[in-house]
């Protein structure tokens, strides 16, 4: 046996260990048939608080990853790790690689074990503006009203403005408004013990999501991921869900109906975004959240087999 390959799963905003369903087990069992020289292990990072500074979440994950690898490593056993992050979990994975590179002399050793980053619908360039127009369903009339206004503004921005950072900020405001709405509902249901914490809950979650509004930073980090892949330091791929081109009756601004904003065609980063069509979901949010449910994602096994092929290639190339 050549060693151990650890598939490390990281959930996204307001997710938990159940986010991935049976996908980790399915991936491990299927991959073991292709990489017979390795013991394939799955590790799901325990639920973490998706609030406050993203850097704090990354720091906590780095420590957990180092401790996890230390428990597995022996003198005769080689440990390789692939970080698999869904949605905002992809940012935690990327930030971990960046942070471990920067802090390698501060006691962290897990950077030498990381083979690559497999992101699953991570909005490395922000959330696609079409998500606003196509309607993220919500039970809150307040958020619906905000979304309707922001959709009209976003349409104007997309048609008349090149200020993509401004478009991204509007999208983040909608996501934050949704979070606040859900948080307010939660707090009201527990008002006797939690109502006084409402403003703290809302602001801390807005702080976490605000990373999506920093377009220049997003572009720089994506370029860094591409460079890491090219240099062979850490392989990188982002599997992106999309709807059929004829899905719905909404304007799509002549862009693919994806949850994530895609890099421009012909750029190096675009080669690292692989699109999988979900022919069943009604909108981008559903496709994004149901990508690990075969009953809601007809091409689930196509996605799984693509990922298997990529993981085998990365492992063999090392």
Distances (CA, A) of 136 to 43, 105, 150, 290: 31, 44, 12, 14
Integer Cα distance of 276 and 121 in angstroms: 10
Report mean pLDDT in 10-residue bins for the chain, 318 residues.
89 84 96 94 84 81 90 79 95 93 70 93 86 51 48 47 48 49 41 45 55 85 96 95 68 67 94 94 88 94 96 89
Q: CB-based contacts of 74: which residues, under 8 Å, 6+ apart? A: none
pLDDT value, residue 83: 97
DSSP state of 77: B
Q: What is the pLDDT of residue 49?
A: 66
What does the pLDDT look like over 283-315, one tens digit per residue?
888 899 899 999 999 999 999 999 999 999 999
Name the burial class of residue 139, with classes exposed (0-12), middle (13-18) and buried (19+) by CB atoms within 10 angstroms of its CB.
exposed
Is residue 93 a contact partner of residue 127, using CB atoms and an 8 Å limit? no
pLDDT tens-digit map of 172-201: 545 554 444 444 344 344 444 444 444 444
For residue 38 the two structure tokens come to 């390795």
- At 188 the pLDDT is 40
Can you give the pLDDT at residue 182? 42
CB distance 118 to 82 below 8 Å? yes
CA gap 54, 212 in Å, rounded: 11
pLDDT at 246: 62
pLDDT at site 157: 45
| Maximum C-alpha span of the chain | 61
Q: How far apart are CA 226 and CA 237, in angstroms?
A: 9
């Amino acid at each position: 046996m050549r060693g151990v390959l650890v598939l490390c799963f990281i959930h996204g905003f307001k997710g938990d260990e159940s986010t991935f369903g049976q996908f980790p087990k399915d991936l491990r069992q299927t991959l073991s048939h292709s990489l017979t020289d390795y013991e394939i292990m799955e590790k799901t990072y325990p639920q973490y608080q998706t609030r406050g500074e993203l850097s704090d979440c990354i720091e906590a994950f780095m420590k957990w990853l180092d401790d996890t690898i230390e428990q597995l490593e022996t003198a005769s056993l080689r440990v390789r790790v692939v970080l698999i992050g869904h949605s905002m979990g992809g940012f935690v994975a990327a930030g971990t690689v960046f942070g471990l590179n920067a802090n390698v002399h501060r006691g962290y050793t897990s950077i030498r074990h990381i083979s690559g980053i497999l992101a699953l619908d991570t909005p490395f360039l922000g959330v696609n503006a079409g998500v606003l127009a196509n309607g993220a369903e919500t039970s809150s009339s307040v958020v619906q009203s905000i979304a309707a206004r922001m959709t009209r503004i976003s349409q104007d921005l997309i048609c008349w403005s090149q200020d993509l950072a401004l478009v991204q900020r509007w999208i983040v405001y909608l996501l934050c408004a949704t979070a606040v709405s859900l948080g307010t509902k939660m707090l009201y249901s527990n008002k006797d013990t939690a109502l006084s914490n409402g403003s703290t809950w809302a602001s801390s979650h807005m702080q976490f999501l605000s990373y999506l509004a920093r377009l220049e930073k997003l572009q720089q980090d994506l370029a860094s991921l591409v460079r890491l892949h090219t240099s062979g330091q850490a392989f990188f791929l982002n599997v992106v869900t999309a709807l059929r081109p004829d899905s719905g009756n909404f304007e799509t601004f002549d862009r693919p109906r994806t949850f994530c904003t895609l890099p421009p065609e012909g750029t190096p980063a675009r080669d690292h975004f692989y699109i999988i069509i979900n022919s069943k979901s009604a909108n981008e949010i559903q496709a994004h959240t149901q990508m690990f449910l075969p009953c809601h994602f007809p091409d689930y096994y196509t996605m799984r087999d693509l990922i298997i092929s990529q993981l085998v290639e990365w492992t063999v190339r090392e």
